[in-house]
Every structure is written in C-alpha cells, then in structure tokens.
C-alpha cells in the first residue's frame, strides 16, 4: 500500500481538533522519535492510519462514519501544539 504524508489529512485533523495540526510535534510510543504531523506516513482505506516513518508504529487511527468520528492516538506519547 502506498503512503502519503501527514499533510494529506490536514483538513480531517482540523475538523477533529479545530486547528491545523500539520506543524504539531508528536512523539512515537514505539521508538521515541519526534516528528511533525505533516511528516508522518499516512495510509487510507476504510479509515486513516498514520505510522511512524522511523519504526512503523501506528501513531493514530481515524475512522469516519456518518456524523461520528473515532480517533485513536495511543501511538503518540505526546502531541505538542504550538500557538
């Protein structure tokens, strides 16, 4: 499966979090690498799966169905938002 970078889900993340997160910095729970959300690897299928470009740990999952959105961020130990 081919991946794109985190910038491809900028609109979806803004819908979920109410702001642009592509410049936010997240720390991978698998290897500890810190990356901007715009630099992570994103795969689309029934939902969105974002993986660490260093160790392939799943960082986040987002699934949309009708008027509901499920968000799983368990692969991020931190997510730093800058004002």
User: How are strands ordered across the β-sheet holding 58-65?
Assistant: 4-5, 41-44, 48-51, 58-65, 68-72
Q: Which pLDDT value is given to residue 83? A: 80
- Residue 78 sits at φ, ψ, to 5 deg, of -145, 155
Which 8-state DSSP code applies to residue 34? E
35-79 confidence digits (pLDDT tens): 999 999 999 999 999 999 999 999 999 999 999 999 999 999 999
6-27 confidence digits (pLDDT tens): 999 999 999 999 999 999 999 9
Q: Is 18 left (phi over 0), alpha (psi -120 to 50) or beta?
A: left
């Amino acid at each position: 499966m081919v991946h794109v970078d985190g910038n491809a889900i900028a609109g979806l993340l803004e819908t979920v979090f109410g702001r642009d997160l592509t410049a936010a910095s997240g720390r991978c729970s698998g290897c500890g690498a810190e990356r901007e959300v715009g630099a992570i690897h994103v795969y689309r299928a029934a939902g969105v799966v974002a993986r660490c470009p260093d160790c392939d740990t799943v960082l986040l999952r987002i699934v949309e169905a009708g008027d509901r959105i499920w968000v799983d961020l368990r692969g991020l130990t931190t997510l730093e938002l800058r004002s």
